[in-house]
Structures are given as structure tokens and as C-alpha cells.
Structure 1
Amino acid sequence: MNEKQELATFAGGCFWCMVKPFDEQPGILKVESGYTGGYKENPTYEEVCSNTTGHREAVQITFNPDVFSYERLLELYWQQIDPTDQSGQFGDQGDSYQTAIFYHNENQRLLAEQSKKKLAESGIFKDPIVTEIIEAGPFYPAEEYHQDYYKKHPERYKQYRIGSGRAGFIEKHWRDKA
């Protein structure tokens, strides 16, 4: 049986923290950490972190839209980030940690714009929503040691989510709204 498949690509700061929330959902076929949005072909982690490639850390999600819609992916994405921080995310600052939704077709662009507007009007955040919506380009998978980091290093992953401030931020802003 062939499943319907689409791609979604999101930059949300450190990609380690962006895999697990999506990986645990029905209809999600694959979540891959990588780099996108820049101009250097096949960048390394060190190059991306040096902010010289134009790339952001991101996750590319292969999903079945009949099981888990793009709209639901967008809702889950917003609940993983601080969409008001244009300098990076939590403990990670710099261009490579800036948030963005990379759309793969016109429908995704329209849905992303609508969801951003809805979030801005919700009153959840007092500051403007600065997450960019950008046409998807080449996606370069990250090195193997970055893939499924939360599974390979559960204790370090947990410490990082808490220590970076991400876990507390998500709890504060989304506990009663998710």
C-alpha cells in the first residue's frame, strides 16, 4: 500500500529539540535534522554554526497529510518555538538558530501565512511574530550523530531542553492552550 507523502520543513533553533515533538505523531513517516536556507552546498555542522553559510538548523518532515495535516504540523511547530525572537532560540543565538517555515508549494505558503496571522491575533505573545515564511530550497541532512538525538542521548537531550529555557517557555505559553 502506497502512502500519500508530503514534505514540511521547519527551522526552530537547535534541531535536536525539533525532532521528538513531530516524531511521536501519527502519520509522520520520517523526521530528519539538517540545514537549509543558505547558499553553501553540503555544509557541515561547524560551518553552519559559524554563521557563514546562510543555513539554519532545521527539520524536514515526511508525512501523510491524510493522517496528520499540514495545518496540524504548523500548530505543533508554533508550540515548539519562541516566534518573537529574531536573534535565535533560547540558549542558542545567531543566524543558524533563527526560526522559519520553509514551504514546498503554494498551498503550504498560504496555510503558513494564515497560521502566522492567527497566532499574531491570538494574544499569546505581546511581541510581533518574526518567524519568516520562505520558499524551500535544498535540504542537507545533518551528520548522523545529530539524527534522533533525543533517542540516542535521552538524558543529555532532557538537560538541554531544560537548560536552554525551551521547556520552561513552552510550558509557560502553551500549557493551557495546546
Structure 2
Amino acid sequence: MSKVKLAVFASGTGSNYDAIIQAINHGKLDAEVSLLVCDKPNAKVIDKARQNGTPTFAFDPKQYSKKEVFEAKIVDVLQEAKIEWIILAGYMRLIGHTLLQPFEGKMINIHPSLLPSFPGLDAIGQALETGVKVSGVTVHYVDAGMDTGNIIAQEVVYINDETTREELEQAIHKVEHKLYPETIQKLISRGESS
């Protein structure tokens, strides 16, 4: 039986891409990353994808007249690769209707807070600035809003008065790298969508 085909979308270093690849290599995630989509042609995640033999579609949004145009191109690339699930892993763009509609219920994101608290950019900084004692990680379905889709899984990370930004980032990444592959496996094994 062929494995479920995932496309990972990332904009940066690709630590969650790494975690997904590791989970696959260790038999904890029964899928394959068939495509990496990246909106930053010089991002480090592209090198990681090459090293792992993952086909890559990297693009510069500024080369397109509008979001609908590059999203239509992405949809073509995804359909050509027969992608079944889209896994957002540090992809720093709001998804538009053009991309969302054909993959609705088959697109998930990971966010470094306990949503609905601290959506959007720099959730870790927002948590520290507010002085909360609990933050964490959320995996959720993607909808047209900013981190507003239905929540699938959450895990808590505790913060104390001495916690530095670096320590909180490390703690959250550690949870992300375990929770995301586990959640993806649960979803694909149930064949579930929102």
C-alpha cells in the first residue's frame, strides 16, 4: 500500500520538517514527504530538503502579481505530486482561498502557544511579555483566519519567573517536534479531516 503523501510548507530553518523526516525514518510516522513548498528561495529548509531527497518548490511571492496567482501555481504543483495532506511547519503566510479550498480539512498548522491565546507572529514573545505561567503548542486545522482553525491537539509548556526566551523556545520546540508527527500519524491513520 502506498504511503500518504505530505507536502510540508516552511519559510525558515525547517526544524519541524526535520522532526517529521526523523519520525518517518524511525517508523513513527507512516507517510512520505513528497514535496517541500517554501516562499523564501534562500531558506535553510531547502538545503535540508535537498539532503533528504525531498522535491522542492521554492518561490518568491514578489515575482507574482498577487497571492491568487502564486497559490494557483502551488495548487498545480501539489496536484501534480498527488499530495494528500498539507503540513504547515513555520510557513509565515496566511493561506488564501485559492489554496485553502482544494485542500480544506487536509491542511494543518502548528503554533507555539495554547490557542486561542497569542495567535500570529512571535507567540513566544507575546507569552513572555504578558507574564503567563503556561504556554505551549497547538496543532490545528487551517482556515482563512490567523491561527483560528479547529484545534486538534495541544500540549502545555510551563513558564516560571526565571524562564528566558531561549529556554522557552527550546521547550516549545521539543514539544512541537514530538507532538506534530504524533498528531499527523493519528490524523492519517484515521483518514480524518475537519
Tell me the TM-score normalized by structure 1: 0.32
Larger relative contact order (C-alpha < 8 A, sep ≥ 6)?
Answer: 1
- Which has the larger Rg? 2
